Chain A
């Protein structure tokens, strides 16, 4: 069965330090992978996506993620955290054609950024 696991429910960093949010997936097919961010009382915003092109994907606001097939991982990183990065982050998987509208979400990671 297809699934996605976010390894940390809560991550706390200081402003200006690196961010690492971890995500592993399980799939029998070639997945499309996404990271979305949700600020309080807001909808979900796409940060970046992987669709079998380059394994290192750059997104908005300085975020990037690396697809590692051997580790079935798609971790999200940012070199320097900003206060405005505090939010809920979701690793999301979509599997194969014909299922493009069905996204499977991880449980989310709350990122706290301390001054």
Chain B
């Protein structure tokens, strides 16, 4: 069974640009969550989508947005990039029911210059 796939693995963008990251969950999983990992702040929850609806949201500015498609694939968009957005962005998929574990992709390493 294929795992969680994130594309691209690496990105370099310039301040002010926007970026879209993609996540394909494990087949049958309806929940996709996004996390930002930085050395200073650790792993922080961005948002979760379940059956195409945002179910949970973390404390990030509106420049961070996402969506989920009918096949459960999800995209995350960051507009007007700032240097501080440089991070590893991790996607996790799960069945989305109580107490089920999340499976993580290898992440997209975003560098903003």
A residues with CB within 8 A of B = 32, 34, 36, 42-46, 49, 51-52, 90, 94, 96-108
Contacts and interface: CB of A to CB of B under 8 A. Distances in A.
Given A43-B90, A43-B106, A51-B99, A101 B31 contact: yes
A36 B103 CA distance: 10
Interface in B15-73: 31-33, 35, 42-45, 48-50, 55-56, 58
Contact of B97 (A34, A52, A100, A107): A100
A92 B11 CA distance: 28
Contacts of A100: 31, 94, 96-100
A86 B48 CA distance: 30
8 contacts: A32-B99, A36-B104, A43-B104, A97-B98, A101-B33, A101-B55, A101-B92, A105-B44
Given A101-B31, A101-B50, A108 B42 contact: yes
Interface residues of B, number: 30
A87 B105 CA distance: 17
Given A42-B106, A46-B101, A46-B103, A99 B56 contact: yes
Nearest to B42: A107
A100 B92 CA distance: 12
B112 interface: no
* 8 tightest A-B CB contacts, nearest first: A101-B48, A105-B43, A51-B99, A44-B104, A43-B104, A97-B98, A43-B106, A102-B56
A43 B45 contact: no
Contact of A101 (B43, B96, B107): B96
